[in-house]
Structure 1
Amino acid sequence: MGERGPIGHRVPDLAALELLLAVARLGSLGRAAAELGISQPAASGRIRTMERLLGVPLVERSPRGSTLTRAGALVTDWARRIVEAAEAFDAGAQALRSHRDSRLTVAASMTIAEYLLPGWLIALRGERPGTAVSLLAGNSQFVAERLLAGDADLGFVEGPAMPPGLAGVVIGGDRLVVAVAPAHPWARRRAPVTAAELAAAPLILREEGSGTRQVLDDALTWHAAPLLELASTTAVKSAAAGGAGPCVLSELALTEELATRRLVEVPLADVAFTRKLRAVWRPGPEPSGPARDLLALARAPAR
């Protein structure tokens, strides 16, 4: 026997098979076309195409209506089984989509989790009220680990570069600010603080592995050992506001403290701390379902 080509080249498509079943049930090509929402010429064309594909006549047309040939009746029996199998396949696929869409797990670094993600999740709730969202918050390294382990569907990180082993897209930018308590000498000085002064000062910093710390380490070729290393933005702000020393944090995280002068921004002379905010996911195409919708909300321009 010779090699057989792909089965799709020899089997009519589902639309044609559904039309044949409608003709068999209604006894009229015109009524079958109307039920399926197509024109009668289009229906006739589908039947002719199917007859050429199979090499046998399937429908006899007369002024009294349309009847199936013997071959048409046999093909209709086969078509019914194919359409039923396709309907079962579609129902199963819908069940898979429903299960996927019922839950969303997001991993986010602390600044995004605290200051940006809540607004995105409120908007997502309006679009997908039936989706339950779980949030895993940590530093950028933690986010990458959760995604690679399969524990999260979508992640958000801050930092100078894409975490290794992940795909992603830039969704925005951020600026890091040096801030001190109002009583600190840097709050009253007129000249901006230089990079050398900043590097020599004991600072209150986030822990290694955080996006904030990565930006600082990349911008300064060296810096003194941290005065304090803390794992939360709130703890860093509290320590700085209490007078322990200067801190380096996202401008997003310091909006309220700077507005109320609980902390004061320190102007810098020859260094700037900027970073990119990224949505990240496991290698492959962009996420689907609720993760796709959340990604779209994160990428939308701020209003």
Structure 2
Amino acid sequence: MTAPDSESLRLLVLVGELGSIGAAATELRVSQPAASKRLTSLERRLGLELVERTRQGCTLTPAGVVVTDWARQVLAHVDGLMNGVRALRAQQQSRLRVAASMTIAEYLAPGWISELRRAFPESHLELDVTNSATVVEAIRHGRADLGFVETPIAPEGVSVRHVTRDRMVLVVPPDHPWARLRRPLNPTELAATPLIVRERGSGTRETLYRALADLGADPVAPLLELHSTTAVRNSVVAGAGPSVLSILAVGTDLAERRVIEVDVDGIDLRRPLRAVWRSGLQLTGPAAALLATAMRTPR
């Protein structure tokens, strides 16, 4: 004997309450023949006569009364389940917690979020702007649903997806001596010069220091250590000194010659930008849509 489906149980309950298969069919928005066929199928499946049919209507048999009482309990649990599922889906679709590293948050995420809002106008998005190391910790500890990082090495303990690629460049103020160099700088000279850098845990700083370390160059202490990409960029534009920043952050400044790019020989400052989320979880709703939007970023 197979378990009856919830719609057949709901039909039985309505027949008992309304005293008519036709009235129950109208309530369920199905035809009377379809309802009668479903009720007969339920009786055969259970091996019990549940309804006594007469010209005046229908009444439940003694077995039908007992089964109907049980059916009400089952349907209450089913309805509770579906209400809970709908509430969870609504909550998931209405709130999305995103953590993003500085460069991504400032130069890429606004466009992604704008596109997401058009697809999910009722969603509520919270964006935590921080460094890459903190983004990964937020994902690991459930403080964010989706994160974006710019570290050169993919983080462990989380699900990772490559989004796009970024290029970092050495920039100096127009009056800096390096702005007049007629040859590429070498990595040793770069490492020996105090730079304006981001704080520890920043993907921008980690990419630069790892690239120098791969060439056997040990960077000296920073000239300035700042906690946002915008602050670093503003310091270079103001003439404070050189820095290595994403082309996303200084592209307009380079075009308008507020800063000058200096070539560095033999160093690879390209880096992947990645999405991260809780390991073992499948993204759905706005989170999946935001990832799909980010994946369409030109590479």
TM-score > 0.5 by shorter chain: yes
Report the counterpart of residue 133 of structure 2 in structure 1: 141
SS in 2 for 1:218: helix
Report the counterpart of residue 77 of structure 1 in structure 2: 69
CA distance in 1, matches of 2:294, 2:33: 47
The structure 1 residue matched to 2:211, chosen from 213, 219, 222, is 219
CA distance in 1, matches of 2:66, 2:94: 43
- Deviation readout 1:280-303 (Å, 9 max, x if unpaired): 122221334433332233223459
- Deviation readout 1:238-282 (Å, 9 max, x if unpaired): 222233332111111112211211012223332221111122122
Report the counterpart of residue 164 of structure 2 in structure 1: 172
Shift of 1:212: 0.9
Conservation of the 8 A alpha-carbon contact between 2:19 and 2:58: no
SS in 2 for 1:168: strand
Shift of 1:214: 1.5
| Matched length | 293
- Deviation readout 1:3-31 (Å, 9 max, x if unpaired): xxxxxx75312133234445554834798
Report the counterpart of residue 263 of structure 2 in structure 1: 267
CA distance in 2, matches of 1:301, 1:159: 18
Shift of 1:179: 1.2
- Sequence identity (%): 46
The structure 1 residue matched to 2:25, chosen from 32, 43, 64, is 32
Tell me whether 1:130 sits opposite 2:122 in the alignment. yes
Instruction: Report the residue type matching 1:27 in the other structure.
Output: S
Shift of 1:209: 0.9
Report the counterpart of residue 279 of structure 1 in structure 2: 275
More displaced stretch, 123-132 vs 138-147: 123-132
Conservation of the 8 A alpha-carbon contact between 1:241 and 1:262: yes
Tell me whether 1:201 sits opposite 2:196 in the alignment. no
- Deviation readout 1:32-67 (Å, 9 max, x if unpaired): 3994558957973x55653444222446789x6985
Instruction: Report the residue type matching 2:294 in the other structure.
Output: A
Counterparts of residues 239-254 of structure 1 (less than 5 Å): 239-254=235-250
User: Cα 1:178–1:43, aligned 2, differ >3 Å: closer, same or farther?
Assistant: farther
In the TM superposition, structure 1's runs of 4+ consecutive aligned residues that sit over 6 Å from their partners are none
Counterparts of residues 51-200 of structure 1 (less than 5 Å): 51-58=43-50, 67=58, 70=61, 71-200=63-192
CA distance in 2, matches of 1:93, 1:224: 54
- Deviation readout 1:87-127 (Å, 9 max, x if unpaired): 23322332343344443322111011111112222223333
CA distance in 2, matches of 1:40, 1:197: 88
CA distance in 1, matches of 2:150, 2:260: 23
Conservation of the 8 A alpha-carbon contact between 2:19 and 2:59: no
- Deviation readout 1:139-167 (Å, 9 max, x if unpaired): 11121222333332222111122323322
The structure 2 residue matched to 1:291, chosen from 276, 279, 287, is 287
SS in 1 for 2:150: strand
User: Cα 1:279–1:287, aligned 2, differ >3 Å: closer, same or farther?
Assistant: same
Runs of 5+ consecutive residues of structure 2 not aligned to the other structure: none
User: Cα 1:43–1:174, aligned 2, differ >3 Å: closer, same or farther?
Assistant: farther
Shift of 1:207: 1.9
Shift of 1:224: 2.5
- TM-score, normalization by structure 1: 0.81
User: Cα 1:259–1:40, aligned 2, differ >3 Å: closer, same or farther?
Assistant: farther
CA distance in 1, matches of 2:169, 2:41: 69
What's the Cα RMSD here? 3.3
CA distance in 2, matches of 1:88, 1:149: 30
Conservation of the 8 A alpha-carbon contact between 2:25 and 2:35: no
CA distance in 1, matches of 2:255, 2:19: 74
CA distance in 2, matches of 1:151, 1:140: 14
